[in-house]
Amino acid sequence: MKYVHALLIFVFSCQAINAQLFTKEKVKNNPTMDKKTISWGYYFGINNFDFKFDYNENKGDVINEPGLGFNVGLAGDVRVNDYINIRLEPGLVITTRNLTYPLSFFDGIADLSENDLFREVRSTYVYLPLLFKFSTKRFNNFKPFVMGGISTALNLSSNEENPDDNSSGQFRAKEGVNFYELGIGIDFYLYWFKFTPSIRGVFALNDELIPDKDPASPWTSNITSMKTRGVFFNLTFR
């Protein structure tokens, strides 16, 4: 997946503060901030999504061209102890994926147009993740962490109920999607608030493809499963 740009942004963000992680003790900003049992903030960021396809026969691959998307939402945090937190991050995720089908999928089909080979898949997810955050001990004004969990999403742009399918130019996907997620980040304690850059991967657990009505459809008949995968780069403020 083409996640290099997002990873580089995260690395450069961390590099700016890494030099201070192993220096002598300094005055701590907001020393009691992490003692709250429940706290709220907000986040925004970018995403990069594509699909993982599995096939019945080896006729070539559907080419994914991921587009840069946008995330925004609330960040709720429940403190378990100094090193473990439970995170709830309801939000909205908007993304676009462009698919290019190989000509081999259309063998024997007459009157093939160039538009038949392309599909733009726009997705708008109402997104609800439940994450577990495992932090190191705070040093000065920084605290690295890893996180993981599960999430569910409602795709408002799925076209699941649309009676038209690819034969009419309509690509359809299932409305409900479940994911597992893994990520890393650093809490950065400023004077008035906590700033957290993080990056995490999201991987769908369920097949999202809705087959076309025609069992021999060139767009769906050779695909056994289609699962979303992607990366988030978020900035959280609390």
Per-residue pLDDT, 8: 46
| Per-residue confidence (pLDDT) for residue 66, from 0 to 100 | 84
Residue with tokens 């950065």: 188
**pLDDT beneath 70, residues of the chain:** 1-26
Q: Which of 189, 197, 196, 136 is nearest to 29 (CA)?
A: 189
CB of 9 closer than 8 Å to CB of 203: no
Q: What is the pLDDT of residues 134-193, one digit of tens each?
A: 999 998 899 999 999 999 999 999 999 999 999 999 999 999 999 999 999 999 999 889
Domains of the chain with CATH codes: 4-237 (2.40.160.20)
- Full DSSP string of 25-48: --PPSSTTGGG-SEEEEEEEEEEE
Task: Judge contact between 91 and 75, C-beta under 8 A.
Answer: no
Task: Select from 63, 54, 18, 51 the least CA-distant residue to 123.
Answer: 51
- Model pLDDT, residue 25: 62
pTM of the model: 0.83
